[in-house]
Amino acid sequence: MADHDAAARDLVLTRLAQSREELRRLLDPPLEGSKTGETAANGHGGFPRSRTMQMLLSGRGLGTLGALAGGLLIARPALALRLLRFVPASSVAKMLMARVMSALKEKPRAGD
């Protein structure tokens, strides 16, 4: 019986070590020398690292956030204005100016 318990315990510890290693690989920042996956594809040098922030900073994500903010403003204006005080205005202004400047630098498409 002790051999069976020891074997089961060893199996559980092995699986636990594998899951820890997988979590460590997913959550730890990648090494500076290795650029693979999304960090190399998005060209931001690893920023933003989280998939949630990448989604929110994409075009569709910003549209979704805008619709959510507009709905909140219409439904509960006092709460929306109270939450707006927590938003760093200078950071948002810099981000918007960067997007406007990059849009102006793009060449117009032939079909537009």
What does the pLDDT profile of the chain (112 residues) look like in tens digits? 678 888 999 999 999 999 999 888 877 766 655 555 544 454 555 667 777 877 777 778 878 888 888 899 999 999 988 988 888 888 878 888 888 888 888 867 665 5
Where do the domains of the chain lie?
1-29, 50-105
Q: How far is Cα 48 from Cα 100, in angstroms, rounded to an integer?
A: 20
The DSSP annotation for 23-82 comes to HHHHHSPPPTT---THHHHH-STT-S-SHHHHHHHSHHHHHHHHHHHHHHHHH-HHHHHH
Spatial contact of 38 and 54, defined as CB atoms under 8 Å apart: yes
Angle between helices 77-84 and 59-75 (to 10 degrees): 130
